[in-house]
């Protein structure tokens, strides 16, 4: 057990402080939901856990691109702790919903239909199960056992999970976002998308590689999913939305092209051998 959580035992003070800060954030969220929203204990727990978990996961996703865009803002050591805390609160949210709303009946989840745009609980459920392997492999021990490449492949799934999470909380009950916790979450969400795409463009322009195509696939999948969330409410969205999405993807594809080093040809000219006199 000590080997499995070696990182935790190594820096117990930091972990305890982080947990306490996370609990304080949750208590504030709970107090807001209970005293200012509906005064119902179970709903306050469900919503406070959802807002706390989603906001912390969003902050964890901001840490990486911050460091890539501005090397002086290096908070990478906090990313895993914040992300693990965030999903821990999502676990509370999940079990509270399953107990209070669905009475631990999985079939009841699909009573609202299997279309996730009509029944956004499905988006949340899919996201939850994608987060699970990321959560249980968020240790140094798991990284060593899996090897960095396999570990990285698993943790790249967080981008799909985050997109589905956003679709879940944007569609499930939009009115709950019209509050202070909702505004904070929406601001964090906007920063996640802006900074992640900016860091992706900067990274691929300097290094290139197959990561460009993985990133483009994630962006395309996200754009299509968000487009579909609103496309069929009004027919003109279908008419104008598709070109907008495609143009946006093309612009990002062009921006992420690896820079060509234009100095090389000039340098080659300078070092060309001088022909010998005959």
Q: Is residue 99 part of a domain?
A: yes
Which is more confidently placed, 209 or 107? 107
Domain assignment present for 108: yes
In a domain, 253, yes or no: no
Confidence (pLDDT) at 4: 58
Q: What is the dihedral of CA 169, 174, 180, 185, to 10 degrees?
A: 30
Q: What is the pLDDT of residue 191?
A: 96
pLDDT at 72: 85
pLDDT at 259: 65
Percentage of the chain lying above the pLDDT 90 cut: 50
Average pLDDT value for residue range 97-104: 93
**What are 246-260's pLDDT values in tens digits?**
777 677 777 667 665
Instruction: Give me the mean pLDDT over the 56-77 stretch.
Output: 91
pLDDT tens for each residue of 160-170:
999 999 999 99
The residue that leads in pLDDT, 146 or 27, is 27
Give residue 57's domain range.
6-179
Number of folded domains that form the chain = 1
Going by pLDDT thresholds of 50, 70 and 90, the confidence category of residue 267 is very low
Asked if residue 109 is part of any domain, the answer here is: yes
pLDDT number for residue 2: 44
* Residue 11 phi, psi (nearest 5): -135, 60
pTM: 0.85
């Amino acid at each position: 057990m000590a080997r499995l959580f070696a990182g935790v035992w190594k820096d117990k003070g930091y972990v305890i402080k982080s947990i306490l800060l996370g609990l304080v954030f949750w208590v504030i969220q709970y107090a807001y939901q209970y005293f200012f929203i509906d005064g119902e204990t179970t709903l306050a727990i469900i919503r406070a856990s959802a807002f706390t978990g989603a906001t912390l996961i969003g902050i964890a996703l901001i840490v990486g691109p911050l460091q890539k865009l501005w090397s002086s803002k290096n908070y990478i050591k906090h990313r895993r702790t914040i992300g693990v805390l965030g999903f821990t609160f999502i676990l509370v949210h999940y079990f509270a919903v399953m107990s209070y709303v669905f009475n631990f009946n999985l079939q009841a989840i699909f009573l609202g239909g299997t279309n996730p745009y009509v029944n956004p609980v499905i988006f949340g459920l899919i996201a939850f199960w994608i987060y699970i392997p990321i959560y249980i492999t968020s240790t140094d021990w798991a990284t060593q056992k899996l090897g960095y490449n396999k570990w990285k492949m698993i943790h790249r799934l967080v981008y799909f999970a985050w997109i589905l999470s956003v679709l879940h909380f944007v569609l499930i009950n939009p009115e709950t976002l019209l509050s202070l916790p909702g505004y904070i979450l929406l601001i964090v969400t906007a920063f996640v998308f802006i900074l992640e795409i900016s860091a992706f463009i900067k990274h691929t322009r300097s290094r290139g590689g197959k990561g460009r195509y993985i990133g483009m696939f994630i962006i395309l999948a996200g754009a299509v999913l968000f487009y579909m969330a609103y496309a069929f409410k009004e027919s003109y969205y279908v008419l104008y939305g598709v070109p907008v999405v495609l143009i946006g993807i093309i612009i990002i594809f062009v921006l992420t092209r690896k820079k060509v080093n234009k100095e090389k040809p000039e340098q080659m000219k300078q070092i060309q051998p001088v022909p010998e006199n005959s």
